[in-house]
Amino acid sequence: MNNRFDLIIFDWDGTLVDSIDWIVHCLKKAAIAHGCNEPEEQAAKNIIGLSIQKAMDELFPEINQKTQEQLISCYSQEFFSKQITTDDLFLGVKKMLVTLKQKGYQLAVATGKSSSGLHRALQGTGLSNFFGITRCADQTASKPQPDMLEQIIKEMGVSKERAVMVGDSVHDMQMAINADISAIAVSCGANTTEQLQQYNPLLNIKQTTELLKVL
pLDDT at 35 over 90: no
What is the helix (H) or strand (E) element at residue 144, kind and residue range?
A: none
pLDDT at 37 over 90: no
Domain ranges of the chain: 7-18+85-214, 20-79
What is the helix (H) or strand (E) element at residue 7, kind and residue range?
A: strand 7-10
Q: DSSP assignment, residue 38?
A: P
Whole-structure pTM value: 0.93
The 133-135 sheet, strands edge to edge: 133-135, 106-110, 7-10, 163-167, 182-186, 203-205
Q: Which CATH number fits domain 20-79: 1.10.150, 3.30.70, 3.40.1710, 2.40.160?
A: 1.10.150
Q: DSSP E strands: which ranges in 31-181?
A: 106-110, 133-135, 163-167
Q: Is 54 helix (H, G, I), strand (E, B) or coil?
A: helix
pLDDT at 112 over 80: yes
pLDDT at 122 over 80: yes
| Domain covering 7-18+85-214, topology | Rossmann fold (3.40.50)
Give the mean pLDDT of the chain: 94
